[in-house]
């Protein structure tokens, strides 16, 4: 995060207010089991706990305030931590004293649940104290600790709560005593990366180098002893698994198959992988570790060039919620977990801390406007865990292999990792708008906001005004030049610096104006840079925001002969609600022309794309032979196709959806 940024953007304000006014109170009720909702399993698997959340109750029991048993996943605590983190960010924007008082009481409760030696983890405190740190492949103890540290730092920064930071340091010190190179310590890490991120944040907040060292330790030990998790499990007297089924996954599931500097492809569980990469990039920036950054770049390249969906989703299979292999991007069985795209945003953000290149912002933007946003319904009370690019309700209902592909967002999920993850990201979006490095302020995301920076000791104020992501609707004749971004710069004293502006990869052309005068500014690494002595200046960038059709690489078997449509940062899709059932019968013409308009009455206000396409006509009789000799004539008629932003699908009941559309040859 750079400077002090306040978001005023209409598009994002809507979501941030939904988080503050709807999601946070709603999630609080869910965590307390105070709301009658249907908690759905994210896939057909009877072992997924879905009766209730019980997350706050678990803390009360661990604190000795109530009696009873722990309920839920071993990582149920992390739902509370992510809620607290989202609350902290939302208090930064709007100080709500009642919410602060509630959050303070949660901090008190967490502190009460912490054991005297610093251990914090309700499952193990309540149910299995003898199993602490004995089965790290499944236990998520350090994963939860990492989430608490992130929440603690956010809450400390928001309200200056010393108490929350003390609890976090006590926990980190407990972990520091138990893990490390010394004899008697555990030489290993957690099966789910996250502690590495939490510790790096704790280091930033406290300046204590030991936390950064510990984060680095956990990164570098991964994969050096691939049998560690298995050995721990065999050594443990207790044989009941903490999470059944994890043992069937390969070592790469936890990125434990080889040392991290040797990992050059994105393997295993997608959320774990991007959390690991986030921490790698973070620690690389904090310690100037070039080898570590080079390792980040290898994995980044593999994700972005070969394993990422056009929507910024990652994870091609439900089995292990994992990556599979290069160019394997099925649209209807994929995983694309919301958390994985949230993690991709974090990873991209940390890459920018190391190196200013527009592609990091491009990927961040792709994930954010598409898969991250699609994780939540417009009401902020229904959530997708899995974000398909093609969905057919009957198929999801009747094909057991697609039970994870939901066509309507559930009210809550048995594994509730995604909703609070989304909330904490949306509530902290201002952290990703700018990156400041020495004498450069880099504008990475575009939204209406104010920013206060200090450059060479001087205060610099930048007001960003933009019609992003839709483009201005005022001038229908200038459609191709609608992505306008204006930076109004105000410095009390003349200050020399560079304003770098990301030119998104979807923009074929751009125009830069400095104080009203067009200037030819070349891009370098996808960035235009204006270096000057600033005082009262206006820098404007216009991006050509025309509708694009995209083909996937020829190795992507699933998308051959198909196109995806985007405009600006937003990927579009066809939905049954607008186009009728059997979307597979529809196609787009080779040289299709598109029209765009903004419909303020649809889905809370969205850009709509229309084009003249084609529809194979079903004959009037319902029963058709399954196979027949090639039909001389397949009756195909012209049909107007309507496309809406992908993120907004499934807000009008259960229906078919398709991102990749067949194209007529
Ligand atoms: O294991 C903790 C979280 O639950 C993961 O990040 C998600 O993928 C889900 O499996
Ligand atoms: Zn998730």
Q: At what angle do helices 97-113 and 55-62 cross, to 10 degrees?
A: 50
Q: pLDDT-based confidence at 632, cuts 50/70/90?
A: low
Q: What is the pLDDT of residue 476?
A: 46
Is the domain of 598 the same as that of 517?
Answer: no
Helix or strand run (H / E) with residue 25: helix 24-31
Q: What is the pLDDT of residue 438?
A: 84
Pairing of strands 412-413, 39-40: parallel
Is the domain of 358 the same as that of 217?
Answer: yes
* CA-closest candidate to residue 652, choices 578, 597, 583, 586: 578
Contact yes or no for 651/377 (Cβ under 8 A)? yes
> Tens digit of pLDDT for each residue in 260-287?
999 999 999 999 999 999 999 999 999 9
- Give yes or no: 321 in active site: yes
List, in sequence order, every residue forming a beta bridge with 598; answer none if it has no partner.
Answer: 607
Residues 6+ apart with CB under 8 A from 314: 266, 270, 274, 303, 307, 308, 323, 336, 340, 341, 344
Is the domain of 592 the same as that of 605?
Answer: yes
Is the domain of 349 the same as that of 412?
Answer: yes
Please check whether residue 3 lies inside any domain of the structure: no
- Give yes or no: 430 in active site: no
143 C-alpha to ligand 1 centroid (Å) = 10
Please check whether residue 341 lies inside any domain of the structure: yes
Instruction: Give phi and psi for 105, each to the nearest 5.
Output: -70, -30
Contact yes or no for 425/51 (Cβ under 8 A)? no
Pairing of strands 440-443, 483-502: parallel
Task: Please give the residue range of the domain that contains residue 446.
Answer: 435-543
> Tens digit of pLDDT for each residue in 87-126?
999 999 999 999 999 999 999 999 999 999 999 999 999 9
Q: Which pair of tokens denotes residue 285?
A: 């920036």
**Distances 198 to 331, 362, 464 between C-alpha atoms, Å:** 33, 25, 31
Section 191-202 average pLDDT: 98
Q: What is the pLDDT of residue 410?
A: 97
Over the Cα atoms of the chain, what is R_g? 25
Check pocket membership of 192 for ligand 1, CB cut-off 6 A. Answer: yes
Q: Does residue 197 surpass a pLDDT of 80? A: yes
- Range with the lowest mean pLDDT among 176-180, 411-415, 542-546? 542-546
Is the domain of 148 the same as that of 88?
Answer: yes
> Tens digit of pLDDT for each residue in 67-90?
999 999 999 999 999 999 999 999
- Number of domains within the chain: 3
Q: Which pair of tokens denotes residue 167?
A: 């609890």
Q: pLDDT-based confidence at 604, cuts 50/70/90?
A: very high
Is the domain of 80 the same as that of 141?
Answer: yes
Residue 83's region, left for phi above 0, alpha for psi from -120 to 50, else beta, is alpha
Q: Does residue 633 surpass a pLDDT of 90? A: no
Q: What is the pLDDT of residue 2?
A: 62
Cβ atoms within 10 Å of 273's Cβ, excluding its own? 30
Mutation test of ligand 1: which of 41, 142, 192 has the most ligand atoms closer than 8 Å to its C-beta? Answer: 192
543 C-alpha to ligand 2 centroid (Å) = 34
Q: Does residue 497 surpass a pLDDT of 90? A: yes
Please check whether residue 366 lies inside any domain of the structure: yes
- 477-481 long-range Cβ contacts below 8 angstroms, 24+ apart: 479/545, 479/546, 479/596, 480/544, 480/545, 480/546, 481/511, 481/542, 481/543, 481/544, 481/545
Is the domain of 82 the same as that of 155?
Answer: yes
Which domain-ending residue is among 543, 577, 594? 543
Is the domain of 371 the same as that of 350?
Answer: yes
Higher per-residue pLDDT: 237 or 464: 464
Give the 3-state secondary structure of 92-155: HHCCCHHHHHHHHHHHHHHHHHCCCCCCCCHHHHHCCHHHCCCCHHHHCHHHHHHHHHHHHHHH
Q: How far apart are CA 274 and CA 283, in angstroms?
A: 14
Please check whether residue 578 lies inside any domain of the structure: yes
**One of 157, 267, 321, 540 is an active-site residue; which one?**
321
Q: How far apart are CA 202 and CA 221, in angstroms?
A: 20
Evaluate the omega torsion of the peptide bond into residue 469 and state whether it is cis, within 30 degrees of 0: yes
Q: How far apart are CA 603 and CA 649, in angstroms?
A: 9
Mutation test of ligand 1: which of 43, 253, 321 has the most ligand atoms closer than 8 Å to its C-beta? Answer: 321
Count the residues in the chain.
665
Please check whether residue 618 lies inside any domain of the structure: yes
Is the domain of 229 the same as that of 311?
Answer: yes
* CA-closest candidate to residue 353, choices 446, 431, 464, 451: 431
Is the domain of 444 the same as that of 388?
Answer: no
Q: What is the pLDDT of residue 473?
A: 52
Looking at residue 367, the DSSP 8-state letter turns out to be I
> Tens digit of pLDDT for each residue in 222-258?
999 999 999 999 999 888 999 999 989 999 999 999 9
Which domain-ending residue is among 432, 461, 492? 432
Q: How far apart are CA 9 and CA 449, in angstroms?
A: 6
> Tens digit of pLDDT for each residue in 565-587?
999 999 999 999 999 999 999 99
What is the share, in percent, of the chain residues with pLDDT greater than 90? 92
Q: Which ligand is nearest to the CA of 191?
A: 1
Q: What is the pLDDT of residue 1?
A: 46
> Tens digit of pLDDT for each residue in 12-65?
999 999 999 999 999 999 999 999 999 999 999 999 999 999 999 999 999 999
Is the domain of 121 the same as that of 171?
Answer: yes
Section 471-475 average pLDDT: 62
- The CATH number linked to 500 is 2.60.420
* CA-closest candidate to residue 143, choices 177, 98, 193, 104: 193
Please check whether residue 1 lies inside any domain of the structure: no
243 C-alpha to ligand 1 centroid (Å) = 11
Q: Which pair of tokens denotes residue 176?
A: 């520091």
What is the share, in percent, of the chain residues with pLDDT greater than 70? 98
Q: What is the pLDDT of residue 566?
A: 98
Atom of ligand 1 minimally distant from the CA of 243: 1
**One of 144, 417, 491, 573 is an active-site residue; which one?**
417
Looking at residue 390, the DSSP 8-state letter turns out to be E
Is the domain of 611 the same as that of 525?
Answer: no
| Mean pLDDT across the chain | 95
Residues 6+ apart with CB under 8 A from 234: none
351 C-alpha to ligand 1 centroid (Å) = 23
Q: Find where tokens 């309200």 sit.
A: 159
User: HSE on the CB side for 269, CA within 13 Å?
Assistant: 19
Please check whether residue 395 lies inside any domain of the structure: yes
Which domain-ending residue is among 432, 454, 469? 432
């Amino acid at each position: 995060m750079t400077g002090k940024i306040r978001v005023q953007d209409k598009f994002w304000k809507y979501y941030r207010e939904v988080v503050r006014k709807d999601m946070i109170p709603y999630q609080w009720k869910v965590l307390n089991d105070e709301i009658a909702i249907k908690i759905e399993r994210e896939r057909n698997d009877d072992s997924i706990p879905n009766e209730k959340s019980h997350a706050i109750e678990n803390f009360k029991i661990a604190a000795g305030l109530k009696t009873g048993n722990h309920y839920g996943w071993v990582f149920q605590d992390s739902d509370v931590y992510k809620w607290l983190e989202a609350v902290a960010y939302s208090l930064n924007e709007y100080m709500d004293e009642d919410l602060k008082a509630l959050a303070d009481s949660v901090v008190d409760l967490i502190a009460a649940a912490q054991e005297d030696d610093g251990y914090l983890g309700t499952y193990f405190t309540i149910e299995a104290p003898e199993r602490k740190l004995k089965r790290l492949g499944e236990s998520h103890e350090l994963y939860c600790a990492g989430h608490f540290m992130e929440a603690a730092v956010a809450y400390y920064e928001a309200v200056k709560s010393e108490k929350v930071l003390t609890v976090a340091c006590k926990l980190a010190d407990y972990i520091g005593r138990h893990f490390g190179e010394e004899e008697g310590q555990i030489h290993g890490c957690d099966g789910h990366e996250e502690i590495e991120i939490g510790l790096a944040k704790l280091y930033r907040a406290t300046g204590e180098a030991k936390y950064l060292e510990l984060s680095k330790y956990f990164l570098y030990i991964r994969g050096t002893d691939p049998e560690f998790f298995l050995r721990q499990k065999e050594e443990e007297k207790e044989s009941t698994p903490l999470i059944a089924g994890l043992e069937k996954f390969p070592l790469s599931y936890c990125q434990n198959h080889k040392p991290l500097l040797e990992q050059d492809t994105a393997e295993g569980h997608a959320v774990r992988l991007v959390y690991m990469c986030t921490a790698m990039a973070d620690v690389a920036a904090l310690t100037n570790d070039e080898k570590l950054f080079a390792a980040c770049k290898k994995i980044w390249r593999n994700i972005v060039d070969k394993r990422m969906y056009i929507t910024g989703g990652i994870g091609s299979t439900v089995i292990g919620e994992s990556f599979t292999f290069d160019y394997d991007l099925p649209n209807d069985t994929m995983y694309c977990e919301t958390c994985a795209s949230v993690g991709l945003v974090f990873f991209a953000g940390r890459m920018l801390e190391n190196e200013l290149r527009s592609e990091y912002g491009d990927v961040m933007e792709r994930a954010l406007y598409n898969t991250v946003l699609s994780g939540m319904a417009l009401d902020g009370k229904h959530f997708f865990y899995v974000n398909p690019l093609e969905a057919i309700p009957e198929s999801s209902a009747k094909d057991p292999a697609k039970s994870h592909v939901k066509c309507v967002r559930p009210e809550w999920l048995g594994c509730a990792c995604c909703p609070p993850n989304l909330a904490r990201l949306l509530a902290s979006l201002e952290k990703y708008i700018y990156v400041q490095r020495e004498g450069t302020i880099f504008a990475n995301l575009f939204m209406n906001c104010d920013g206060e920076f200090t450059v060479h000791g001087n205060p610099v104020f930048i007001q960003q005004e933009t019609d992003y992501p839709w483009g201005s609707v005022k001038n229908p004749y200038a459609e191709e030049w609608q992505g306008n971004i204006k930076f109004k710069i105000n410095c009390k004293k003349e200050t020399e610096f560079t304003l770098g502006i990301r030119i998104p990869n979807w923009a074929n052309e751009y125009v830069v104006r400095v104080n009203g005068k067009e200037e030819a500014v070349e891009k370098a690494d996808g960035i235009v840079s204006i270096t000057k002595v600033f005082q009262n200046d206006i820098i404007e960038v216009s991006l050509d925001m025309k509708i694009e059709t995209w083909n996937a690489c020829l190795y992507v078997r699933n998308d051959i002969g198909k196109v995806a449509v985007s405009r600006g940062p937003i990927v579009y899709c066809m939905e049954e609600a607008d186009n009728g059932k059997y979307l597979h019968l529809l196609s787009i013409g080779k040289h299709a022309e598109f029209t765009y308009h903004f419909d303020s009455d649809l889905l809370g206000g969205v850009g709509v794309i229309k084009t003249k396409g084609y529809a194979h006509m079903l004959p009037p009789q319902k029963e058709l032979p399954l196979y027949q000799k090639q039909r001389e004539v397949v009756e195909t008629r012209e049909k107007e196709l309507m496309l809406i932003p992908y993120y907004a699908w499934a807000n009008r009941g259960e229906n078919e959806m398709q991102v990749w559309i067949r194209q007529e040859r």
